[in-house]
Amino acid sequence: MSLDYYGYRKKFAVLVPSTNTAVETEYHKMCPEGVVLATRACVIPPFKVTNEQEFVEMVQAIGGATEQGLIDSLTCRPDHVIFGYSAETFWDGKGRSDREFKKYNDIAQSRGGCNITFGAQAIMDALKCYPKVKRIGVISPYMPVGDSQVVKFMADIGYEVVRIAGHCSPGPVEIAHENFAKTRALVDQVNGDDVDLILQAGTNLYFVELAAQLEQELGKPVLAINALTFWHALRSNGIHDRIRGFGSLLSEHIAIPE
């Protein structure tokens, strides 16, 4: 149990790229009483992303800043660390993702006595809540090279991405500038009777409230990456609150399935 005055249930360190504003904002919207969030940055420049090579360089910069960012985040003595980014966790498929998760979880355990939530692994656990799902539509803020990495990862874990569409946002800061109307249009592009579930990647894209609305409209699960990772951190730490207004995962699934 955390001894933090307001975080008397749990204290989570939230590790984000320094350009990211959506993760912190959406986590605070979803946060139950007794949990505190300590946001810490992996410092990267506010890249300009106009082509696929620049997107790759941005992802590489995040990867390069991660270990020091994690070590810095552990100085607040958190009960758990949430990695508030996704593209770098998917990169090169499940094999690399598993190795990166182990590397960073080992650091968190050895230096801070805690575990981590990683975007890719949170997706795997969350999808266990929807056992009938096989075919997925994906939206993101990424360039096509980033979308292809999502498709590869999902195939590695046994899911078919039927369609994927990205905003091709012109930089990591600008991802948070995308409006709901444009994001809805992407969902329309990837949705269909052949799609069992809509998944959103890209943690600086605001989506948790829109995802909940779309679930009602479409009659199928719509999962936002920030809801996925926050759900995973809560459930991994014995917090089973039903949190409403952000989709079925947080409101209906109070534990991580075995």
* Structure confidence by residue, pLDDT tens digits, 17-28: 999 999 999 999
The amino acid at 111: R
CA–CA distance, 248 with 243 (Å, rounded to integer): 9
Mean of the pLDDT values across residues 108-125?
96
Q: Is 3 helix (H, G, I), strand (E, B) or coil?
A: coil
pLDDT digits (tens, 9 = 90+) for 146-178: 899 999 999 999 999 999 999 999 999 999 999
The tokens for 169 are 């946002």
| Whole-model pTM over 0.85 | yes
Residue with tokens 């009777």: 193
Is residue 191 predicted with pLDDT exceeding 90?
Answer: yes
Residue 28 is predicted with a pLDDT of: 98
> Can you read off the two tokens belonging to residue 14?
């939230």
pLDDT confidence band for 1 (50 / 70 / 90): low
Nearest to 167 by CA among 141, 147, 146: 141
* pLDDT at res. 63: 83
Helix (H) or strand (E) holding 107, with range, is helix 93-112
